[in-house]
Amino acid sequence: GSNSSYSYYNAQTSAPIQDAEAWSSASSSSSLGPVVVAIVDTGVDYNHSVFQNSGAIWTNPGEIPGNGIDDDHNGYIDDVRGWNFVNNTNAPMDDDGHGTHVAGIVLGTTQDITANPISPAKIRIMPLKFLDSKGSGTTSDAVKAIYYAVNNGAKVINNSWGGGSFSNSLIDAIAYAYDKKVSFVAAAGNAANNNDASPTYPANYSVPNMISVAATTDMDYFTDFSNYGAQSVHVASPGKSIWSTLPNNTFGRISGTSMAAPFVSGMAALMMRESPSMSGYQVKNLIFSTGNTLSTLQNKTSTRNRINVLNALSASKNAVVAQSQPSYDVAAARAPASEVTESVPACGLVAKAVYDAKDGNGPQGPHRMLAFFTLLLVLASPIIVSFALRNREGKNKRQHTRYQISSAVTLKLGDRELTGQVSSIS
C-alpha cells in the first residue's frame, strides 16, 4: 500500500486498509469531541503507557473518584473508568490480555500508537469487563455491560466474543443500543463455520446497527479460521497476526476475528467524530459501501468488501446526516422461550508473542531457558492445552467466550527469534 512508510502500518497490519492516510485526513479541530468506544471484553490494562500517554482511557465526568458515592446515580459507585461486571467492582483491569489487545487495535486504527511522543487520542476507550481471567463470561453480565455502555455515552461498542446461544435479553440490549443510535460491532467467530447455517451470537442478531466482521490476511486472503456467511457476515477486516498492546506495557501479535472487529470499531469512531450526529445505522451503511471489493470474499460476506478506513472517513465527512432510521421490531426477532438454548461456544488456542515495551529484546539470562521451554510447551503439547481449554468451561459461565486463535508464536531471545506454528483447537 501507499502508506507503507508509516511505522505503525508495518507494525499492526500491512493490509491495505489505508488507515495511515486516514490519520492525516482526520480533522484536527479540538472542537470535535472524542468518540467513546466501549470494549466489552476481559477488561483493559488502562495503565499501559500507550493508553496513559495518549489520554485514551474514558473517565466518567459525573463521578467523583473514591468518595464511595454513586454521584451520577447510574447504579455504580465510583465507576470512574468503566466497570468490572465479573467481580462487581470499579476496576475493569484486564487479567487475560485479550481486551487490552483489542483496545490497542481500536486506538491504533485512529492514530500511530508507535509514535514517540504519542499524539493525544481522538477517541476514548471505555473498559467494560464481563469476561474473566479464563476468557469466559455470562450473558447476563454482557447485557449489563451493553446497557452501561449506551447509558454512559459510548457511541461504538466492540464485541470480540460470542457463542452459540440465542438470548432474548441480549438482542433486547442490542436493540436498545440501536434506538440510541449506537454502532454495534461483533466478531464473526473463529471456527471456520458458515454463520448462515450455524448462527453465532451476538454477531448473528439482525438488529440494523449490527456489523459482523470476518478476518482476512495482510494479503487480502480469507483466513482459514474465520467464520463466514453470505448473508449474516457483513465485512472483512485484517485479523491474522495483528500487533497490538498487551498487559504490563508489552506488545504482541494475536490472530482472530477478535482482532478484525476492533479495526471496524476504531474506524466507526473516527467517522462519528467527523459527523457527530450520524447514527450507528448510517455508519454501518457507509462502512459497507466504501470498502474494497475482493474476489476472495465471494460467498464469504454479504458486501464482499474488506474495510477501507480512508474511504469511510471521507464518506462520513461528506454525508448528509439522516434524521431518522428504520424502525425495528425486536419483539418479532425474539425467540420463544422453548427455542432459547445454551451451548458451549468454541474457543481458540491462545498464543501470544510478547515483547518488552522498553527495548524489545525479550528475556535475558536465565529467562531465556524459560522462554524456550514455553515455546516448546505450546508447540509440543496441544493435548495439554486442549485439556485446559475444556476445563475452563464452568457450568455458570457457558454462554460466551472471547474469540481468539493462534498463529505464529514468536519469542525474542536476545538478538534471536524463535518462531513456531500452533494449530488452533476449537
Q: What is the pLDDT of residues 264-322, one digit of tens each?
A: 999 999 999 988 889 999 999 999 999 999 999 999 999 999 999 999 988 888 878 87
| Nearest CA-CA partner of 140 in 130, 132, 149, 148 | 130
Residue that is last in its domain, among 305, 337, 369 = 337
Q: Which of 200, 192, 253, 256 is nearest to 224 (CA)?
A: 192
Residues 192 and 311 in one domain: yes
Q: Are residues 372 and 332 located together in one domain of the fold?
A: no
Domain assignment present for residue 426? The answer is: no
- Within a domain: 149: yes
Indicate if 316 and 376 belong to the same structural domain. Answer: no
What local confidence, expressed as pLDDT, does residue 393 receive? 36
- The pLDDT assigned to 320 comes to 80
Note the pLDDT of residue 144: 96
**Number of compact structural domains in the chain:** 2
Tell me which H or E stretch contains 185: strand 183-187
The residues carrying an active-site annotation are 41, 98, 258
Q: Which domain holds residue 160?
A: 7-337
- Tell me, yes or no, whether 57 lies in a domain: yes
Check residue 24 and give its pLDDT. 74
The reported pLDDT for the residue numbered 332 is: 83
Domain boundary residue, one of 309, 337, 365: 337
- The answer as to whether 126 is a domain residue is yes
Q: What is the pLDDT of residue 239?
A: 93
Q: Give the Cα separation of 136 and 165 in Å (integer).
A: 14
- Is 242 contained in some domain? yes
Domain membership flag for residue 342: no
Query: Which of 306, 337, 368 represents a domain boundary (last residue)?
Result: 337
- Same-domain check for residues 145 and 43: yes
Task: Tell me whether residue 318 is in a domain.
Answer: yes
Same domain, residue pair 123 and 183: yes
362 & 330 share domain: no
Whether residue 186 sits in one domain with residue 293: yes
Same domain, 141 and 218: yes
* 400-402 vs 161-162, strand pairing mode: antiparallel
CATH number of the structural domain spanning residue 181:
3.40.50.200
Q: Are residues 145 and 286 in the same domain?
A: yes
Q: Does 396 lie in the same domain as 277?
A: no
Q: Among 349, 344, 352, 354, which residue's Cα sits nearest to residue 384?
A: 349
What residue has cell string 449489563?
144
Rounded Cα distance, 214 and 235, in Å: 6
Pair (271, 412) in one structural domain:
no
* 166 domain-assigned: yes
Q: Are strands 156-159 and 183-187 parallel, antiparallel or unpaired?
A: parallel
Residues 249 and 369 in one domain: no
Residues of the chain where predicted confidence (pLDDT) is lower than 70 = 1-11, 14, 29-31, 336-426
| 176-133-68 Cα angle (round to 5) | 65
CA-wise closest residue to 160 among 111, 103, 245, 231: 103
Q: Where are the beta strands (DSSP E) in 34-122?
A: 35-41, 83-84
For residue range 339-389, list pLDDT tens digits in order: 444 433 333 333 333 433 333 333 333 333 333 333 333 333 333 333 333
